Structure 1
């Protein structure tokens, strides 16, 4: 593996090293990272050396993808909540700006319809948030405009300081207190006297599954304040006994081997290390963290792409159904 790097060995704490990478292959840092890199939460110096000594691909995938995507697709299309008080299963996507939350919703609908969908407006890579309102997205399951029995809520991304969605608004959304169409105001949480504050949320209004969405291309350099906000939201969801999952997107941009062949998604040593390190940062169980490449440049769907989107989606539905069962009492 060829690399050119310069290492700055200033150590402010025992677990903190700062490194500048000029060029690197998939076995280490993603090739598009060319800046100072703080690995405070990512395993320190030993992890850096570990990346250098390991091959880019494993001989066998460390997680198997389902062989029959049609079987999962039928399950997703036919799913209905068993709890009579819930007309649908509500999944909240949250995470840093530009992580691919809206693109994941489009990708899910593309898989279900069997054609590329663009229901949710998305923006190219940007430092500012494209989503500004709290909105529910229903997934069409056929061209007759019938819907699946699960919905997604997309919201403004997390940013440092008082930028992005207020952490308090995320907690209110979990409990169903934010009404449809509310426009988020960075640095100013929704107040109880606001007309968009739902004082008496039903089970349908509440979130049933919390999904963190993070980008593989920026996860190593994610801002500390954003990590802390995600941790606080996770703690609130845990207090509500709400199931939580994570999807790591843009995996093809982070690993050239996955860009060559999507089937390498769970063979990549770099992505495997990324999953393990994110598990250490937020405490999300390893079997609740999934790698995803959203539909972006493709003009047609394919089984190879569909299956790696369907796997986490099925898990969201199963976990959410378990949560709704617990609300029957």
Structure 2
């Protein structure tokens, strides 16, 4: 058994064994945010693929449109074993951030979502935030409604090309999460498209000087430490899962779960 297979099996077991210790909630809520086209929906599908051991496509992504394909606030559960059993964590997918003020998800909506004020199914309006008298507004959120981990998803192909407006929006979201005590990390996607060495062999990921530079640039822009930025390759054209790809996805997922567990237990 190669080392990647060993790492995969170790982290897979950690994820399968996880149960929240806080009796107030049954599932961690993980919210993904980032620019349009960064791979948020694809990351959810990739996690689902790894845990199911087969290709899945639960969170629809679009390979053509330059606008956000995700329009509503939607929670995704990952099946564990039988149809009635799910993993004790959920992913919240949202509309992408865009540099224009009249496009993409509103930063104010993101702040409200982190506090648990937005119900599942709400359709984002780029021109205005949700109002308190809206049927999709949750006036009395509990711990289970709140976001427990904030994950910024960014493409390695565009990390050094982000507009000042996009960076400012992501920075504002990051500071709002900080004020709420919500732990944060980042996912660097499309590493195979950004680096020919990694495209040739994904095991070159941590030897790639180009990816290292991209992570440093992103860290400097947003303030997320490099050690909290996880490079991954989402599944998009493959017909079968791959151990090396799974290993990177599981490593990121394990750290996400650990941060969320610490948060809900007040650590």
TM-score range, shorter-chain basis? over 0.9
Please, which moves more after superposition, 137-146 or 257-266?
A: 137-146
Say whether the 8 Å CA contact 2:36–2:67 is kept in structure 1. yes
- Which runs of no fewer than 5 residues in structure 1 stay unpaired? 1-63
- Which runs of no fewer than 5 residues in structure 2 stay unpaired? none
Say whether the 8 Å CA contact 1:113–1:143 is kept in structure 2. no
1:83 aligns with 2:22: yes
Aligned with 1:205: secondary structure? coil
1:162 aligns with 2:162: no
Post-superposition offset of 1:237: 0.4
Higher fraction of helix: 2
Say whether the 8 Å CA contact 2:5–2:244 is kept in structure 1. no
1:320 aligns with 2:224: no
Post-superposition offset of 1:91: 0.2
Aligned with 2:29: secondary structure? strand
Say whether the 8 Å CA contact 2:5–2:243 is kept in structure 1. no
Query: How far apart in 1 are the matches of 2:218 and 2:162?
Result: 11
Residue equivalent to 1:55: none
Alpha carbon RMSD of aligned pairs, Å? 1.4
Normalised by the length of structure 2, the TM-score is 0.96
Residue equivalent to 2:203: 263
Post-superposition offset of 1:261: 0.8
1:290 aligns with 2:230: yes
CA gap 1:219/1:305 in 2 versus in 1, 3 angstroms: same
Query: How far apart in 1 are the matches of 2:263 and 2:138?
Result: 22
Say whether the 8 Å CA contact 1:78–1:148 is kept in structure 2. no
Aligned residue runs from structure 1 range 175-194, under 5 A: 175-194=115-134
Residue equivalent to 2:49: 110
What is the number of equivalent residue pairs in this alignment? 264
Post-superposition offset of 1:126: 2.9
CA gap 1:65/1:93 in 2 versus in 1, 3 angstroms: farther
Say whether the 8 Å CA contact 1:103–1:295 is kept in structure 2. yes
Cα deviation 1:23-73 (Å, max 9, x = unaligned): xxxxxxxxxxxxxxxxxxxxxxxxxxxxxxxxxxxxxxxxx9784211211
Aligned residue runs from structure 1 range 160-239, under 5 A: 160=99, 161-239=101-179
Residue equivalent to 1:254: 194
Post-superposition offset of 1:224: 1.1
Post-superposition offset of 1:142: 2.8
CA gap 1:210/1:278 in 2 versus in 1, 3 angstroms: same
Query: How far apart in 2 are the matches of 1:292 and 1:210?
Result: 17
The structure number with the bigger radius of gyration is: 1
